[in-house]
């Protein structure tokens, strides 16, 4: 089963302009979601709970991620 898109239709960026307030993805991750590999999607999904707490592991995309 493919990784589900985390969009919850609350599409606005946080005050820092870094993450969507609804799904907590970056604009790059949102734009590339459909073309990401399953592994890339799972990596993004794994980071979302930390981002919601303000402790996202991804300050910048890594070489294997968009």
For 13, the 3-state DSSP assignment is: strand
Strand partners, 20: 13
Task: Please report, in tens digits, the pLDDT of each residue of the chain (66 residues total).
Answer: 789 999 999 999 999 999 999 999 999 999 999 999 999 999 999 999 998 888 665 544 444 555
The answer to the question of residue 62 being in a domain is no
**What ranges in the chain are assigned the alpha helix state H?**
27-32, 38-52
The answer to the question of residue 31 being in a domain is yes
> What sign does the dihedral 25-48-58-38 (CA atoms) show?
negative
pTM: 0.78
Specify the number of domains making up the chain.
1
The answer to the question of residue 9 being in a domain is yes
Phi, psi of 47 (to 5 degrees): -85, -20
Question: How high is the pLDDT of residue 6?
Answer: 97
Which DSSP state fits 3?
P
* Residue-number span of the structural domain to which 34 is assigned: 1-54
């Amino acid at each position: 089963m493919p990784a589900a898109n985390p969009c919850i239709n609350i599409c606005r960026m946080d005050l820092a302009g870094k993450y969507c307030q609804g799904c907590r993805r970056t604009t790059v991750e949102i734009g590339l979601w459909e073309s990401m590999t399953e592994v890339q999607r799972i990596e993004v999904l794994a980071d979302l709970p930390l981002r919601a707490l303000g402790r996202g592991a991804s300050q910048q995309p890594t070489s294997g991620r968009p």
